[in-house]
Structure 1
Amino acid sequence: MEYQLYKNIITHPDICNGKAVIRNTRITVQTIMEFVLAGESDEQILKSYPRLSAEDILTCKEFVSLILEKPTFVKPIKSVG
């Protein structure tokens, strides 16, 4: 079953192992954000993935921003040894 996470960002257990993808593609949000973090412009990303729109890239950025604005508690891992 497909679950809408945000606008056109969905997850489905049978698509990319359940990772967040852009609807009707197998392009993960992670892939797009890795291009962004590598310094690629939106235009360069669109050349690499002509199936995407500028709105798709913006939606990926918004989705990640929304995730990061939520409070998160990280429990320290005890060192081994």
Structure 2
Amino acid sequence: MDNLLARITINPDICHGKPAIRNMRWPVEVILDMLSAGMTTEEIIEDHPELEKEDIMAALRFAKISVSGRSLAEAV
């Protein structure tokens, strides 16, 4: 499995089953919102030190796979 994609978890008990970062309450969509608002990776990590650069890269990788029409399972 892609090491970055291993950071994306889908658990019905966390974030209502939305794709999240490492079973934390950080949905991928929130990471993407921060990036689209113009925050840099460094700013996000500075504001939220529980996140790692690889988490943000994983969110971007997951988004790319999602818009390509592939599923997470197909990407492995």
Short-chain TM bin: 0.7 to 0.9
Partners of 1:61 and 1:24 lie apart in 2 by: 17
Partners of 1:31 and 1:64 lie apart in 2 by: 12
- List runs of 5+ in structure 2 lacking aligned partners: 71-76
- List runs of 5+ in structure 1 lacking aligned partners: 1-5, 72-81
Give the deviation of 1:47 after TM superposition: 1.2
Partners of 2:64 and 2:54 lie apart in 1 by: 15
> Structure 1 or 2: larger strand share?
1
2:21 is aligned with 1:13:
no
Q: Deviations over 1:4-43 (max 9, x none)?
A: xx32101111111111111141111011000011010000
> Structure 1 or 2: larger helix share?
2
Alignment of 1:2-81 (within 5 A): 6-70=5-69
Identify which of structures 1 and 2 has the higher relative contact order when contacts are C-alpha pairs closer than 8 Å and 6+ apart: 2
Partners of 2:69 and 2:16 lie apart in 1 by: 24
SS in 1 for 2:9: strand
Q: Give the alignment's TM-score, normalised by structure 1.
A: 0.75
Structure with larger Rg: 1
Partners of 1:48 and 1:19 lie apart in 2 by: 22
Counting matched residue pairs gives 66
Runs of 4+ in 1 over 2 A off after TM superposition: none
